[in-house]
């Protein structure tokens, strides 16, 4: 169970629920907080996040053999993202990765730290690595702009939406037009005992604000956009978390087969919801095309400029120009879709035309 953050004692703090329990959903003014976070003047308490460390001289080569990402040459302070997959290529763990020259730090969702540490420890064999769940001792703070006073802290800079080395974009929009560019994202590792001192009197934004900016940036989140069948192609995660030319790892066969010869069965989509209603649909609501269910809403937020927005995972076969309806119980919401993952994603062998852009 996550220990509640001491920052919940700040004026106006309302604790979040679900995956973000233990930190503030907001501090009384969600939209104002969101504007401040987008402008880089507020920071977010993510001290509920899980933190796992991997130390020892074999740590990077070992993680490289296990994961979807090429991390052997990861330099101190350099940020990356890796996936640990099932044999079927389904996402089991999604970790934010930064190395300090002696230890590799993995920042994960709160519920993932203990299972990740347990799984990694089972995979050590005779290698010189040490895996530790340090979630109780370390906290995470996030901002959209570098905080000068925190320059000595180890920081993970989200590579999204840039297409990394060995990566591949499944998006229709070119990288220079991707909405994720409007959300630079930095997560700082802070000793838990120094959390309040580190924040000091800086303005705080709740996770409600952070989620709205994440959704607008089309950034998938483990546990929200994923289920037990999700493969990376469906969420455009080949751009930041997969290296298509690296050596063998569990799940690689599915990654290569779908990318080269097939199509992912589902695709991530951004939904602009009808803002005339005074409510918003809940995550898990059905996405309908006429009378037919074609997907599920995964994340929802009130954006300070766009109004109600959502991410959803829908069937690949749904045409990009279809107007959809989100159904929450008996309440319908008209939804206009913006394509994130192209309907023709995958099957790149022999491809000479189309929206998709390849490795670098």
Beta carbons of 208 and 30 less than 8 angstroms apart: yes
Beta carbons of 171 and 264 less than 8 angstroms apart: no
Provide the 8-state DSSP code for 12.
T
| Strand-pair partners of 14 | 26
For 205, residues 6+ apart whose C-beta sits below 8 A from its C-beta are: 26, 27, 33, 34, 36, 37, 42, 43, 44
Beta carbons of 218 and 270 less than 8 angstroms apart: yes
Indicate the pTM of the whole model.
Answer: 0.96
Beta carbons of 167 and 360 less than 8 angstroms apart: yes
Which structural domains are found in the chain, ordered by start? 6-216 (3.30.1360.120), 265-340 (2.40.30.110)
In angstroms, the CA 68 to CA 255 distance is 9
Averaged over successive runs of 10 residues, the pLDDT of the chain (360 residues) comes to 90 98 98 98 98 97 97 97 98 98 98 98 91 98 98 98 97 95 98 98 98 98 98 98 94 97 97 92 98 98 97 97 96 96 90 48
Neighbours of 354 (CB within 10 A): 12
In angstroms, the CA 124 to CA 63 distance is 10
Provide the 8-state DSSP code for 148.
G
Decide the pairing of beta strands 50-55 and 14-15.
unpaired
Beta carbons of 179 and 101 less than 8 angstroms apart: no
For 293, residues 6+ apart whose C-beta sits below 8 A from its C-beta are: 286, 287
Secondary structure (3-state) at 257: helix
Angle between helices 207-216 and 30-39 (to 10 degrees): 60
Closest C-alpha among 254, 24, 248, 3 to residue 135: 3
User: Tell me, what's the pLDDT at 351?
Assistant: 62
Is 187 assigned a ligand-binding role in the annotation? yes
User: Tell me, what's the pLDDT at 360?
Assistant: 40
Provide the 8-state DSSP code for 175.
G
Q: Which two tokens stand for residue 123?
A: 């995979």
User: Tell me, what's the pLDDT at 355?
Assistant: 45
In angstroms, the CA 295 to CA 327 distance is 11
In angstroms, the CA 138 to CA 8 distance is 17
């Amino acid at each position: 169970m996550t220990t509640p953050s001491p920052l919940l004692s700040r004026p106006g703090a309302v604790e979040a629920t679900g995956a973000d329990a233990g930190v503030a959903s907001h501090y009384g003014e969600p939209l104002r907080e969101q504007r401040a976070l987008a402008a880089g003047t507020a920071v977010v308490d993510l001290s509920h996040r899980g933190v796992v460390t991997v130390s020892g001289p074999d740590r990077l080569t070992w993680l490289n053999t296990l994961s979807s990402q090429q991390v052997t040459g990861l330099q101190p302070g350099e940020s990356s993202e890796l996936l640990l997959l099932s044999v079927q290529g389904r996402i089991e763990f999604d970790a934010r990765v930064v190395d300090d020259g002696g230890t590799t730090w993995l920042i994960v969702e709160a519920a993932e730290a203990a299972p990740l540490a347990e799984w990694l420890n089972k995979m050590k064999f005779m290698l010189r690595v040490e895996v530790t769940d340090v979630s109780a001792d370390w906290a995470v703070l996030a901002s959209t702009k570098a905080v000068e006073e925190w320059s000595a802290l180890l920081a993970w800079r989200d590579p999204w939406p840039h297409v990394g080395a060995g990566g591949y974009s499944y998006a229709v929009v070119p990288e220079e037009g991707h909405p994720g560019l409007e959300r630079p994202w930095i997560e700082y590792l802070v000793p838990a005992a120094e959390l309040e001192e580190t924040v000091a009197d800086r303005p705080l934004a709740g996770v409600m604000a952070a989620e709205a900016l994440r959704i607008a940036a089309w950034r998938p989140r483990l546990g929200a956009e994923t289920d037990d069948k999700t493969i990376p192609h469906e969420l455009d995660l080949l751009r930041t978390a997969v290296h298509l030319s690296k050596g063998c790892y569990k799940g690689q066969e599915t990654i290569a087969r779908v990318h080269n010869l097939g199509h992912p069965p589902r695709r991530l989509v951004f939904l602009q919801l009808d803002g005339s209603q005074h409510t918003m649909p809940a995550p898990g609501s059905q996405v309908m095309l006429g009378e037919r269910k074609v997907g599920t809403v995964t994340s929802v937020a009130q954006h300070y400029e766009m109004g109600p927005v959502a991410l959803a995972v829908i069937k690949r076969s749904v045409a990009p120009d279809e107007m959809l309806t989100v159904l929450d119980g008996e309440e319908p919401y008209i939804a206009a879709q913006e394509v994130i993952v192209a309907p023709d994603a995958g099957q790149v062998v022999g491809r000479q035309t189309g929206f998709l852009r390849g490795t670098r």
